[in-house]
Amino acid sequence: MDTYKFSWRNYCLDLSSRTHVMGILNVTPDSFSDGGKYFSSERAIVQGEKLAEEGADIIDVGGESTRPFSDHQVSAEEETRRVVPVIEKLVKQVNIPISIDSSKSIVVKRAIDVGASIINDISALTFDSEVGKLAAEYDIPIILMHMKGNPKIMQISPSYEDLISEIKGFLKDRILAAENLGISKSRIIIDPGIGFGKTAQHNLSIIKNISMFEDLYVPILIGPSRKWFIRHILKDKEGKDLAAYMPEVSIGTQAVISSAVLNGAHIVRVHDVKETVATIKIIDSIKNA
C-alpha cells in the first residue's frame, strides 16, 4: 500500500496503515438508498453518531441527491439549510473528520465554517471552481470524482472508447487544475465515479482495474455501496433488479468492496459501516499477509 498520510487540523488519516471507511449520511428526501430516512436533522445526527460508533473514519454529509436521472437542482440555500445544522452538531459529538459532499462553493464555505474538514466534489471542480479555492485557502483534503455529464443525463447510454484511459485522463487533468488553484497534491484524493455515467460492465471494469490509477500518485476512493450494477447482477427470479435496501444488496456490496481493496482502493464510501469495517479487517489482513 502506498504511503499516503493526511495530517491537518486535529485529524490524521494514515492510508498506508489500512483501508479507511467513509460513512454516507444523506440529508435528502430522495436518496436512492434510504429514501429520505435521515432527512430530518435530528435523525441525521443520530445516524452520524452511529456511523462513528461503528468505526467510520470519515462521515460524508450530503444535502442533494446525485442519483441517476435526478434533476440536480436543489438551491444552495436549501442545501445549506439541510447540511449545516447536522455538521455543526456532529463535529461536537464525534472525533472523526466530517466531509461535505457538495459542488457548490456557497454550501462548502458554510459547511467549513461550522467544522467540515474535507470536500467531496462529484464534479471535480468543473461545476464551481471556487470550491477548489476554498480547499486551497483552508488547506483541507479534497476528493475529485469522475462523472460523465451530470446526474440527470449521465446514465443515458454512457459510452467510452477506452474506459480506464479516459477516466484516468480526466482525473489527471483535474488534479492539475486543482494544483493550479493552489491545492497541494498531498491533499488530493481521486474517485473514478462508480455509477456516474457508467454501465454495469464499466463499473466492474473499474473495480477490476483500480491499480491502473496508482500512477496518478494520489489515494483512490471507491463508492460502490448498494449501487444499481450490484442490484442488477443480483436480480430476482423474475429478472427484476433488487431494491437498494435488500440484504442481498448489502452482501453484494461487501463482495465489491473486497475486490476493490485487494485491487488498491485506499478509502471505501459506504452505507453499511459496521459490516464494511469487518470486511476490511479480513481483506487487509489477507492483503498484508
SS3 (DSSP) at 67: coil
Strands 5-8 and 11-14: antiparallel
Based on the residue annotation, tell me whether 152 is a catalytic residue of this protein: no
Residue given cell 430476482 in the structure block: 236
Task: Give whole-number Cα distances, 185 to 8, 46, 213, in Å.
Answer: 14, 34, 15
Integer Cα distance of 234 and 91 in angstroms: 37
Question: Using an 8 Å Cβ cutoff, are 70 and 32 in contact?
Answer: no
Amino acid at 236: D
CA pair distance 60, 120, nearest whole angstrom = 8
3-state secondary structure of 119: strand
Say which of 82, 109, 187, 269 is annotated catalytic. Answer: 269
Residues 251, 230 contacting (CB under 8 angstroms): no
Given the residues 227, 235, 274, 281, select the one marked as catalytic: 227
Told to judge if 227 belongs to the known catalytic residues of this protein, a careful annotator would answer yes
DSSP letter string over 8-55? Answer: ETTEEEETTTS-EEEEEEE--S--TTTTTTT-SHHHHHHHHHHHHHTT
Phi, psi of 116 (to 5 degrees): -60, 140
Q: Which sequence positions are flagged as catalytic?
A: 227, 269
